[in-house]
Chain A
Amino acid sequence: MRIPILKLNQYLLITIQVDLDDKTALQFQEDLLEKIHETGAKGVVIDLTSVDMIDSFIAKVLGDVVRMSNLMGAKVVLTGIQPAVAITLIDLGIMMKNVPTALDLEQGLEKLQQELGG
């Protein structure tokens, strides 16, 4: 299974709509970095509105892909984390430190625009 990555101007948009298994999550990590390389995208929004569960493995994959993208020079914002998911992550002890987030896709794009200065 592949997660579609859409390009919009200098941004990449991803909305995760499937129950992520480990392989799909790792494949997505690779695909996103390839796509950043290929398109020269400056900013990425990963929307998690439809994700109803994030366990420690998926949290690690998401945190890693944010840091990997930063290394390449692209900024990533995670958006739409559901209340139940936020509660569960903190219960698990996963703080997702230094990972930029926003309430929804719109605010995520705004955040990227501010950070990228235009």
Chain B
Amino acid sequence: MNIQSCVEVRNEWDIVKARQSGRNIAKELGFGTVDQARITTAISELARNIYLYAGNGEVAIERVENGGKLGLKIEASDSGPGIKDIRKVMEDGFTTSGGLGAGLPGVKRLMDEFTIDSKENEGTIITSIKWLR
């Protein structure tokens, strides 16, 4: 069984689309209500970051397996300006958009694995996994 989806993010509506498709996949994989909410929220934060900072990009969601463990992987990628100071964006309360500054450190807490790969003026790829318990 190969469960996956990829949502292009170009406007606010696509943020809703990305999180709905994330919720569907999470449900299908057997995640409980709380983890479904965590995954959906993480997707929403990542998709909004793409929309706010890069203008457009995509959110890919897929099922992953590792040594018998089943999980859901989110990959949010864009070719935007990149993140200048990754340490800074991982601080709680840091924001350049007037938001709450909860986004990326929040996503890290909501999910089990979290990596940022970003190059200035080239783009950003954020990969995050939630394992099924």
Residue numbers of A with Cβ under 8 A of B are 19-23, 52-57, 59-60, 82-85, 87-88, 91-94
Q: B16: nearest residue on chain A (CB-CB)? A: A21
Provide the residues of chain B in CB contact with A91, threshold 8 Å. Answer: 38, 106, 109-110
Contact B44 A55 (CB under 8 A): yes
Looking at chain B, what size class is its interface with the partner chain?
Answer: 20 to 34
B45 touches A55 (CB 8 A): yes
Q: Which residues of chain B are near A60, meaning CB under 8 Å?
A: 99-100
With A91-B110, A93-B106 in contact, do A57 and B16 touch (Cβ < 8 Å)? no
Contact partner, B41, options A20, A22, A23, A88, Cβ 8 Å: A88
Q: For the complex, would chain A's binding face be called helix, strand, loop or mixed by DSSP majority?
A: helix
B interface list, Cβ under 8 A from A: 12-13, 15-16, 19-20, 23, 33-34, 36-38, 40-41, 44-45, 48, 92, 99-100, 102-103, 105-106, 109-110
Please give, as numbers and ranges, the residues of chain A lying within 8 Å of B23 by CB-CB distance. Answer: 52-53
Task: Identify 19 residue pairs between A and B in the complex whose beta-carbon atoms are under 8 Å apart, listed by A's number.
Answer: A21-B15, A21-B16, A52-B36, A53-B19, A53-B44, A54-B41, A55-B41, A56-B106, A60-B99, A84-B34, A85-B37, A91-B38, A91-B106, A91-B109, A91-B110, A93-B92, A93-B105, A93-B109, A94-B100
With A21-B12, A93-B92 given, is the CB distance from A84 to B102 under 8 Å? Answer: no
CB atoms of A87 and B40 under 8 A apart: no
Q: Is B100 within 8 A of A56, CB to CB?
A: yes
Which of A20, A23, A57 contacts B99 (CB under 8 A)? A57
Residues of B contacting A84 with CB < 8 Å?
A: 33-34, 36-38
Chain A's closest residue to B101 (CB) is A56
